Chain A
Amino acid sequence: MRVQQISIFLENRAGRLAAVARLLGDEGINIRALSLADTSDFGILRLIVDRPDAAQQALRREQFTYSTTDVVAVEIPDVPGGLAGVLEVLQDGGVNVEYMYAFVEKANDRAVVVFRFENLEGAASLLESAGVRVLTRAEVLSL
């Protein structure tokens, strides 16, 4: 149920994002999902990749500052109101979202939303009991 996300500290200057993308590309690591939170000086790149261990090894070798965080990925219908329905479940359950990002699956008209919660297990079971499909690690990596 938990999916491992890798977060990387990046300075906000030309070429830093490309450097990470190139590093992972050269290692044959495929990025499944990403988001970039940025400020005027620095950014935090959050990634879900198909081979997290290999990615961490490469990042460590190249001396990037990174950390790993567990997140929850859910599948929602790719229709207007799809996201709102899920967020209302969380709101009603009093669950706070630390951050989230989403991407669309073209193949089956579904969208995948990645959530970071403080109480990961509680939030995941709340979503499941409301009928939201929480993706397994394998499902996310094979997207």
Chain B
Amino acid sequence: MKYFQPIDETMPVDQLRELQGRRLADVVARVYRDVPFYRRKLDEAGIRPQDIWSIDDLAHLPFTTKEDFRDTYPFGLLARPMSDIVRTHASSGTTGKPTVVAYTRADIELWADCCARTLACGGADRHSVVQVAYGYGLFTGGLGMHYGSERLGAMTVPVSGGNTRRQLMLIQDFGTTHLCCTPSYALLLAETADEMGVDLRKTNLRAGYFGAEPWSGSMRRAIVDRLGVEAFDIYGLSEVIGPGVASECCAHAGMHIFEDHFYPEVIDPATGKAVPDGTRGELVFTHLTKEGMPLLRYRTRDITRLEHGTCACGRTFARMERVSGRTDDMLIVRGVNVFPSQIEHVLLEIEGAEPHYRIVVDRRGRLDDLEVQVEVSPQLFSDEVKEMEGLRQRIANELHSTLNVNAKVTLVEPRSIPRSEGKAQRVVDRRQMETS
């Protein structure tokens, strides 16, 4: 059992709740005093900071949304003067402007600790060689894992995203033991390795931290098999801190949320009410310790469910299930809710299907058209038209029984769907919403 901060990570639950309550009271007092946006929100909700005593008081607090970032762009949510800020990151926003986050020196320290915890969850230590293939820059993935790896004392290879052949060369030459990248990029690495005649299973690579985009169990099996690694799902978002919000451990029973700093709730996205453990809903975070841009009840739009209770690994932190969709990625096709992850799951269960597909939604006349493009791999290919039509029909039938909506399945040539070096663009929505 490896922990980076064993006392915090295995803290008895009652002690943890007490700590969270104290920290919540502190953060509410801070944002009320220092962030006009929150002072107004709390005033409107009739909440005085001194009313907040324990973590159970959280449910009274108002939510923060992605739109609030847009409305206060770029620095309206700061709780510290600009002179205390040492770093900003940004992610794509709901409109043209990015979602901006800001860190004090203490926030950067906290972030490094949390990413070091993440790496330790997957067995990395100071003897490891950690190749960080998340992008460096405004995106939090690269620098977050970089600082975490250095904090852990591992040898850090800051290769960033892209340049796949060089990545493979470094894995072989530097003896990389731990890889950090998106799951779709891991599969691109595997494909490129095949093309170059490199067997990744024969390298020192033993674990990977895959996050920043949704992935399925079948995609995970493909990564484990083709890279020869133990796969760890990691979760993070820049609004909360970046990577280092939650990480899967060696027990592979969900991702531990580092809830001594980021307090999680799962709510029904329609009503805003908390749902019990085991029920899926929207994940919401409250910062307990961040200084630069602490948020109250930030709605992530990610769909997951929580499980409390001590894990086999000894950690007491709540675990979240792999994110199964986004409240805003959800497509409504002919009035039916469709999550891209459902489509991915169907495709991956069809034997031999490589996980390369694209969902195209269009509107023909008044009707929505859902098209699923699937790349035909050599394993799927038959030279008889009736076999290929049969395959297409089989996929269409499976999709219909899962989604309850008809999808047109188009078989396309390998490599005709653009590969991502970052997040995969799985959905193309061409519907022009008439504004009549």
Give the complex CA separation of A64 and B411 in angstroms.
Answer: 13
A41 within 8 A of B: yes
A133 within 8 A of B: no
A39 within 8 A of B: yes
- Mark the stretch among A8-16, A80-88, A123-131 that contacts chain B: A8-16
Contact A9 B385 (CB under 8 A): no
Contact flag A10-B384 (CB < 8 Å), given A39-B389, A65-B376, A65-B377: no
Contact B376 A9 (CB under 8 A): yes
Interface size class of B (residues with CB under 8 A): 10 to 19
Give the complex CA separation of A127 and B209 in angstroms.
Answer: 61
B410 within 8 A of A: yes
Interface size on A, residues (CB 8 A): 20
Interface majority SS (helix, strand, loop, mixed), chain B = loop
Contacts of A37 in B (CB 8 A): 385
Question: Mask for A91-111, Cβ within 8 A of B = 1, else 0?
Answer: 000000011000000000000
A44 within 8 A of B: yes
Chain B residue with Cβ nearest A62: B415
Contact flag A11-B416 (CB < 8 Å), given A41-B411, A42-B388: yes
Question: Mask for A22-66, Cβ within 8 A of B = 1, else 0?
Answer: 000000000000000101011010100000000000000001111
Question: Mask for B368-388, Cβ within 8 A of A = 1, else 0?
Answer: 000000001110111111001
B391: min CB distance to chain A, Å: 11
B412 within 8 A of A: yes
Q: Which of B377, B384, B411 meets A99, CB within 8 Å? A: B384
A136 within 8 A of B: no
Contact A39 B385 (CB under 8 A): yes
Contacts of A7 in B (CB 8 A): 381, 383
B225 within 8 A of A: no
A39: min CB distance to chain B, Å: 6
Give the complex CA separation of A46 and B384 in angstroms.
Answer: 10
Contact A66 B381 (CB under 8 A): yes
Q: Which of A16, A63, A98 meets B414, CB within 8 Å? A: A63
Name 17 A/B residue pairs within 8 A (Cβ), A-sorted: A7-B383, A9-B376, A9-B411, A11-B412, A11-B413, A41-B411, A42-B376, A42-B410, A42-B412, A44-B384, A46-B383, A64-B414, A65-B377, A65-B378, A65-B413, A67-B382, A69-B383
Listed from nearest, the 4 A-B pairs whose CB atoms lie closest are: A7-B383, A37-B385, A65-B381, A11-B413
| Interface residues in chain A, defined as those with a beta carbon under 8 Å from any beta carbon in chain B | 5, 7, 9-11, 16, 37, 39, 41-42, 44, 46, 63-67, 69, 98-99
Given contacts A65-B413, A66-B378, A67-B381, 14 further A-B contacts (CB under 8 A): A7-B381, A9-B376, A9-B381, A9-B413, A11-B412, A39-B388, A42-B410, A42-B411, A63-B414, A63-B415, A66-B381, A67-B382, A67-B383, A98-B384
